[in-house]
Amino acid sequence: MVASGHHDIQSQDPALDENNGVTSQLSKWITGLQLKDIPADVVERAKHLILDGIVCGLVGARVPWSEECVASVLDFEPSGYCTVIGYEKSLGPLAAAVLNGAFIQATELDDYHSGAPLHSAAVVLPALFAAAQVIANPKSPADGEEGDAVGTNRTHRDKNVVSGLDFLLATVVGLETGPRAGLGCGGTDLLKRGWHSGPVFGCPAAAAASSKLLGLSADDVESAIGVACTQAGGLMAAQYEGMIKRVQHAFAARNGLFGALLCRNGYVGIKKVFERRYGGFLSMFSQGNGQTPQYDSRRVVEDLGSTWQMMNIRIKLYACVGGCHGQIEALAQLQTLHPDRFAPENLSRITKIRVYLSGAIFAHDGWAPEERPMTETGAQMNAAYIGAVQLVDRQVLLAQFAASTLNRDEVWDLVYKTTCYHDTHFDKPHHVCGAKVVVEFEDGFQVEEMVNMPKGYDPPITDEEIRMKYRRLAASAIDKDRMEKIEKLVVGLESVGDVSELLRLLPAPTKRVLG
């Protein structure tokens, strides 16, 4: 008698059903989605998420680590026809996607999803910018040999112009796909285990968006998602030193775009990539999580088209990891409630700061610094440093992470007094970025404050507030005329006849916003 195998036991759980067709269902939804299928508020939100992503790219293009990345890439990458934000250079589609994604993620001002952590704009927009310019620059017959299949594609596009509506629909597809892929394998769980979850969840998001824009069939979309998913990865150790953390979401943009470009000519990728138990996307990235079921492929398409996961994409108000926003606001409330205690001259009287965080954020940001000063990246990812900056400067903006500010004694005195802890209270849905802060003083006085959800959760940041953020940041990087033209085009995107009108406004040089 042959013993029952592990796969036989797993197959009894609907969450792990290898034949439930979720990848195919998602692919068909992607190809069929039309504007009339999307609620008006979701359409408006998508446009404002595009606007937020663009301004993050404009600001991030000229920070020091972005400039170093550009210099390195230009050393080996040939010229092409795809826009690079803030630089009057054009590169091939994959290289341009990497740089533009790195710029959007460069300053930690870009969006994040509260249930399945990823920075959606840094993944979706770079892939779509490049895909739109692939469409606008088709290969001529001379590029391939006569009678050869090279250079032909079988997509459903019948024109070389990408309208604003085309771009908007593809954006919605990408914004919706990434979180769904993440929720299928446990949401915040990957972050707890040391994966950089956004570059993992971002690969299928970029593939879905690019495939929609390029007009792939549902069968080819499924292949493209499979090709993207087999490239997925990202180590969260990137947050401590160096600069590469800024680029990892850009790798996902590149990987998804590559999948769509490869499969638009009929190249066959992995099928059933979400539901495969052996070597599938959800199965592999949920290995070792200790959960039952280990993953749930049904979450990828749960209430698809009626519940919009992209509406849980949060807008950052602070220039640091989103997981510490609740901590910042708890400290700000304490500063308001106890102005004398938290006056600058009294901060030295603090003896201990305890910060309680969700499991994912404790693992991600609750670490004790190993060196002084930290890198800009490390400082933006460290709860103790972020809290100390809020106490000293009463704000956590990009200027707080300039290299010249990273070794201040008054900040490090508070960093060394801070200890972080995991509190299961914040493991509840949408509490992941909340925090409780307890501060003790030398006379024994103790205060505490809890924020379950930082600003922008309930209620969400409004579209008007996003436009205000856009204008404030854009004013630091570009001139007023260019700023207003970009905003007008994005807010009215569904009426724009050719999205290249928007893309032409992106490559002109931007100002350096950080020394």
- DSSP one-letter string for 140-183: PGGGS-TTSSTT----S---S---HHHHHHHHHHHHHHHHHHHH
Residue 347 has pLDDT above 60, yes or no: yes
State the Cα–Cα distance between residues 229 and 172, nearest whole angstrom.
19
Task: Count other C-beta atoms under 10 Å from residue 501's C-beta.
Answer: 12
| Backbone conformation region of residue 430, classed left if phi is above 0, alpha if psi is from -120 to 50, else beta | left
Instruction: Specify the pLDDT at position 153.
Output: 53
- The confidence score (pLDDT) of residue 155 equals 54
Bridge partners, 421 (sequence order):
356
Residue 143 pLDDT > 90: no
Instruction: Kindly state the average pLDDT of the residues 187-210.
Output: 97
* pLDDT (tens digit per residue) in 212-260: 999 999 999 999 999 999 999 999 999 998 899 999 999 999 999 999 9
Residue 71 has pLDDT above 70, yes or no: yes
Instruction: Report whether pLDDT(142) > 90.
Output: no
**CB within 8 A of 308, min separation 6: which ones?**
39, 42, 176
CB proximity list for 337: less than 8 A, separation 6 or greater: 447, 449
pLDDT > 50? residue 296: yes
pLDDT at 145: 45
Assess whether pLDDT exceeds 80 at residue 356: yes
| Strand-strand pairing, 350-357 and 418-422 | parallel
Q: How confident is the model at residue 154 (pLDDT cuts 50, 70, 90)?
A: low
pLDDT at 146 over 50: no
Residue-level pLDDT at 28: 98
- Band the pLDDT of 138: cuts 50, 70, 90: confident
pTM beyond 0.75: yes
Is residue 323 within 8 Å of residue 358, measured between CB atoms? yes
Residue 1: pLDDT band by 50, 70, 90 thresholds? very low
Among 153-157, 201-205, 322-326, 428-432, which stretch is predicted with the lowest mean pLDDT?
153-157
Q: Which two tokens stand for residue 98?
A: 């990497």
Share of the chain above pLDDT 90, in %: 92
